[in-house]
Chains A and B, each alone.
Chain A
């Protein structure tokens, strides 16, 4: 029996049937699994590190892609984040989960990216309509999924464009908190941990971000 199977056997029991308990057990298992993998990776086992990567890389890439709106930049952030994690794994002290730790690295890289982007005033490629409205070229890519409805698709793209513009008006930190809360569904306490701040500060930042977004979206209506 493998180390992992032993651990799983020790934590779970057939009596664990309630959903809450099930979630708690699965979270505990995930954490234990991660810890086993981290210890292995710290001993130089690269396969263990790659296993960790595979558990979180989809979420990391999605966050980077949302924040950068560029596949190339998202890929760069993805690579840099995991390379940093690999180089600094020996210093991981199990004070937080690997998930929080890798997200902290990614959010820092994304914040740097957003700050640089703000300085350079980079914008997504846009096209100006006859009525003067600007639409993102990315948003103009047709959604050719079979279930799509052209009218609904147009509305979705317009809304997406407006939201994109509103999000771009946020400060990098507000944007980050909002992304982590709304799109990644994280708890404010976790967001605070990831951004090396308190839950209260994260709450205030979310409040400011939503106020700005609501204001911007109502202006655009």
Chain B
């Protein structure tokens, strides 16, 4: 170790960047050489001085604000990235896209069907002569609409013109608060007419939040008694729960469900709902009936237990 090498490495010594063997040599050298010892002290003092200047620390507020802004930026970037990636993938890498489609037979089939339907529609439009017809009579959306039914066909005896009166279904969507009368009307409609039980469950679940309205409560009661889907009936029960005490009509409907529903889950839930009004004579007689002849062990024992908890009024 010489003084020149010492000077070159002294800062590495101060910042703990030297391997043990060189460190040992330097310490030995500093003990022997007063100038290098001074250099070492000076370097150590430098580190101490700079360390006396406290590093600026980000405040919790700054960190929180930065995180919040980043979150917003990430959300924007995510949306943009999703679309960009999709478009890029589709436009620039159709082979890979098709390769992926190969592994999703349902999607591939759906695309095929849509393609076929699109082709048929296009061909139909091309072949149909642009005479005064569907487009003029309707509102120009016949291509998008499904025909619900033909009401009548008449032909002009003097020409070859035919007039067809038909109904069509137009896909639409509505958005709004559940308190909006139009939305409520749609929900009520969906609750009892829709073929799809999933839609019925959803609409009944939403409507159950506003059972304070007579019309909605009626729809819930109808769903509980008539709907084929036990999920819908359970959802209706949930909505009616808080009215079992105050509304005798609701209570009777729940009793009906307890006695006649085919689903044990619905019957069990009805037992729970009727607990606060178990002293009611109608409810009591329903429990008596079930305790004597019900084929479900649990419901029978629950009915017995409920009756046992009631004071003897005879």
A contact residues vs B (CB 8 Å cutoff): 46, 49-50, 53-54, 57-58, 61-62, 65-66, 69, 71, 74-75, 78-79, 82-83, 86-87, 156, 159-160, 163-164, 181-183, 187-188, 203, 206-207, 210, 213-214, 217
Contacts and interface: CB of A to CB of B under 8 A. Distances in A.
The 4 residue pairs across chains A and B that have the minimum distance between CB atoms: A61-B58, A160-B53, A163-B53, A210-B11
B124 interface: no
B55 A62 contact: yes
A87 B54 CA distance: 34
A86 B17 contact: no
A65 B46 contact: no
B62 interface: yes
A71 B62 contact: yes
Contact of A206 (B15, B49, B50): B15
B17 A182 contact: no
B65 A75 contact: yes
A58 B55 CA distance: 13
Given A69-B56, A83-B73, A78 B66 contact: yes
Interface residues of B, number: 32
Interface of B: 8, 11-12, 15, 17, 42-43, 46-47, 49-58, 62-63, 65-67, 69-71, 73-74, 77-78, 81
A217 B57 CA distance: 23
B66 A57 contact: yes
27 contacts: A46-B74, A50-B74, A57-B66, A57-B70, A58-B63, A61-B63, A62-B56, A62-B57, A62-B58, A65-B56, A65-B58, A66-B55, A74-B58, A78-B70, A83-B74, A83-B77, A86-B74, A87-B77, A87-B81, A156-B52, A181-B15, A188-B17, A210-B11, A214-B42, A214-B43, A217-B46, A217-B49
A159 B55 contact: no
A65 B54 CA distance: 13
A49 B78 CA distance: 12
Contacts of A74: 58, 62, 66
A58 B18 CA distance: 29
Contacts of B73: 79, 83
B17 A187 contact: yes
A53 B46 CA distance: 34
B70 A83 contact: yes
A160 B51 CA distance: 10
B49 A159 contact: yes
Given A82-B70, A87-B81, A159 B53 contact: yes
Contacts of B74: 46, 49-50, 82-83, 86
Given A69-B56, A74-B62, A164-B53, 19 more contacts: A46-B74, A53-B67, A57-B63, A58-B58, A58-B63, A62-B55, A66-B55, A71-B58, A74-B66, A75-B62, A75-B69, A82-B74, A83-B73, A86-B77, A182-B15, A183-B55, A188-B17, A207-B8, A214-B43
